[in-house]
Amino acid sequence: MAFINRFLLLILSFSVICPNISEARKLLLSPSEIDESGFGYTKVIGQDDEGYFLLLSNITLNYSGDRMGFRSRKYKLAYYNSNLTQKWSIPVNATKPNAEIEAVTFFNESILIISSEYIKSDLKLNYYFSTINKEGVISEGENSVASFSQISGEYEKCRPVISTGRKMIAITTREFTSDNQQNYLQQSLIQN
């Protein structure tokens, strides 16, 4: 019994002498629900000094499959300040009318939207970038930033790969050819 009392006294003394040994994480709750009709999946994709960028979708964001829900997928972006109060929410659209959204990611303090357009007559796959800053302002790029030629088979959605220095981005995709082979395609781009 004396051992237990000494042990408890030691723990109590230690907690009084060193009260800040372990730091707790701060849990913030949004003053309103982060829920928009038709967009059941939400993911924090980036943050800056003033808040958080959220990506909302009608189809799960954790599926790594290549084309699930490709045509019916809808995206929306929202920005919340550090108190988790929503500042804006906007739908995400492809850069060109015939293009499809391939990827939405956080890069260089803004949201990067990568769209693709397949031009069947030229067997060419063009990629376009547009960005959204923390004020919700969209800057769209009408010019192709990357292009892959001789695409005749089915292809996966692209995967953006950001360099460790966060100065460069690469687009990678995989084409499935009719002879059951796979071609890996990659294009590196500099984004400032």
Greatest CA separation found in the chain?
Answer: 88
Contact 102, 95 (CB under 8 A): no
C-alpha closest to that of 123 among 157, 150, 146:
150
Task: For the beta carbon of residue 148, count every other beta carbon within 10 angstroms.
Answer: 21
pLDDT at 121: 84
Task: Quick: pLDDT tens for 100-131.
Answer: 888 888 888 888 888 888 888 888 888 888 88
pLDDT band at 4 (very low <50, low <70, confident <90, very high): low
pLDDT at 3: 53
Please, what are the domains in the chain? 32-190 (2.40.128)
Instruction: Tell me the backbone φ, ψ of residue 62, rounded to 5 degrees.
Output: -100, 0
Task: Quick: pLDDT tens for 33-80.
Answer: 666 777 778 888 888 889 999 988 887 766 555 444 456 778 899 999
Query: Which runs of E-coded beta strand occur in the chain?
Result: 41-47, 51-57, 75-81, 86-92, 100-107, 110-119, 124-132, 138-140, 146-149, 154-155, 159-162, 168-176, 182-190
